[in-house]
Structure formats: structure tokens, C-alpha cells
Amino acid sequence: MLRRRPPRSASADDLLTTLGRLTAQAREGAELQRARVELAEALQREMLPGALPELPGLRTAATYAPARHGLAIGGDWYDGFRLPDGSLAFSVGDVQGHDVEAAAFMGQIRIGLRAVAAHAADPGEVLSRANDLLLSVDCELFATCTFVRFDPVRWELTSARAGHIPGVWATTDDRHGVTDDPGGIPLGILPGERYPVTRRRLTTAGAFVLLTDGVVEGPCFPIEAGLAQVTRLVSAKAGDHPADVADAVMCVAELTGHTDDAAVIVLRFDAADGRAG
């Protein structure tokens, strides 16, 4: 009876050569991804403002936490700037997608909002014009956004939402809630979109918080639970320094096990009749 010889096994040299080739390919891929992540981080770091504007009776703070892994960096932003009429503008948003492309698109949106807001005081008009501007650059990405204008004469907040999650408010007399106002679709999807505007007169001291979904939503943590947790925190700290409120809100992201970027803006305001100045 003839016995079949077993197939010739690869030599140790062959195995080492193959292993070396695969290792080199993996290293090249990892180095390329690391370079893209570092570029996205640098873009995002340079595009986010170093500080937010304030006025007597209105103090502000913001905080940002990067994604838990590099593949998800680049989408969230916050901003704050002065308008020509003396009002203050604030925005927060989230770009669909991640990595360098999302970081670059985030920069376009932030610059576009600033440019448009200088000539359109109404937040709804700002979002509408910014939406058409973004569509004109023919990018496949889109973004959610909330834009807020603070009027120091009327002591009023006006806001509009483009597909973004609600904010949270609380006053020092123990009132609080979620700003689930009417809104429009995200920026960069359909031309000619209109965005409803909500007005809030700040008659009682308190805090107004804008945030992105990375703060309140995680793999096993529904957004409703996250918003409820943020509402409880803001209600308990409505009279605190805005930086303390922002830090407390960002801690909710740790509870959700977030994998996305997370951004928070806090506007801490005095009552309309009791403000300084």
C-alpha cells in the first residue's frame, strides 16, 4: 500500500518573510491612520475658539471632549462671537462623518455661519443662508446645528435649530426643561430650507446649555435618559459658575460610554431686571 507524502510545508524563512511583509503593511496602515487622526485633531484644535465672548450679566463657558478612538474625531464644534450690532452669537453642531473631511467641513460651516451672521441677525435666516452657502460648495457631508443670538438690550435669547438635539435650560427659582423647539432639517441637504425661531426673555437668572449628542447618547444609553440627566444637573447648578456647569454636564458623557465627540456651551445669565450695567 502506497502512502501519500504530506504536502511540503513552508520553510521557516518563508514564514518569516510572509510575516515580515504583513507586519510592514499593517505598520504602514497604522501610521497612515495615525497621521490622518493627528491632522484631524490639529484642524479641530485650531478651529475651536480659545474663549467665548461675555457681557456684564452674561458669563459663558465651553468644554470639548474628543472621541474615545481616533476614527471618530472631527465632527463636533462650538463657537461664540460678537455681532456688529453688539449682540453675541453662539453655535454648536455636529458634522455627519468623521476624520479629516469632517474636520475640514466643520471649519467651512463655522466660517460660513460667522460670515452670514454679520448680515442676518435672525437665527433662522442665518441657518437658511448658511444652508444654501454650504450646498453651493457641493460637499456630500451635512451637519446639524443650533444657532443662538443674545440681545443685550432686550435681554433675550433667540434660537433656531437645524436637525440638532435640544438644549437644556434652568433658572434659580427651580424651573427647568428641555428646549425641544420646532426646527428644520440639517444643513447641507436641501436648498431653500426655512428654520423657525424661538425667543426667550431672560426674566429670571439661570443657565442655558447647548450640547452635542456625544454628551447625552451612548451605545446603550438613550438620548432621552442623557437629556434627563443633564437637566437634573443644570437645575441643581443653575446659579453656579458656567465653567462648573459645563464640567458637570460633560461628566454625563462618561456615564453614556460615548464613542463620539462631545461639546458643551453654557450661558449663565442674570435676571433682566437685576443685571449689572
Mind listing the pLDDT tens digit of every residue in the chain (277 residues)? Answer: 555 544 545 566 665 566 566 666 656 655 555 655 555 555 555 567 878 999 999 999 999 887 655 445 557 889 999 999 999 999 999 987 666 677 778 878 888 999 999 999 799 999 999 999 989 887 788 999 999 999 999 999 999 999 999 999 999 999 999 998 999 999 999 999 999 999 999 999 999 999 998 899 877 788 999 999 999 999 999 999 999 999 999 988 877 766 678 899 999 999 988 654 4
Q: How far is CA 253 from the centre of its chain?
A: 13
**Over the stretch 79-129, which tens digit does the pLDDT of each residue have?**
999 999 999 999 999 987 666 677 778 878 888 999 999 999 799 999 999
pLDDT at 39: 52
Give the C-alpha separation, 174 to 244, whole Å. 18
pTM assigned to the model:
0.82
Cell of 37: 487622526
Q: Where are the alpha helices (DSSP H) in 48-122?
A: 99-117
Give the C-alpha separation, 59 to 51, whole Å. 11
β-bridge partners, 155: none
- Say which residues have a Cβ less than 8 Å from residue 262's Cβ, sequence separation at least 6: 64, 65, 76, 211, 212, 214, 215, 250, 253
- Say which residues have a Cβ less than 8 Å from residue 74's Cβ, sequence separation at least 6: 40, 43, 44, 95, 97, 98, 99, 100, 101, 102, 103, 106, 261
Strand, coil or helix: what is 169?
strand
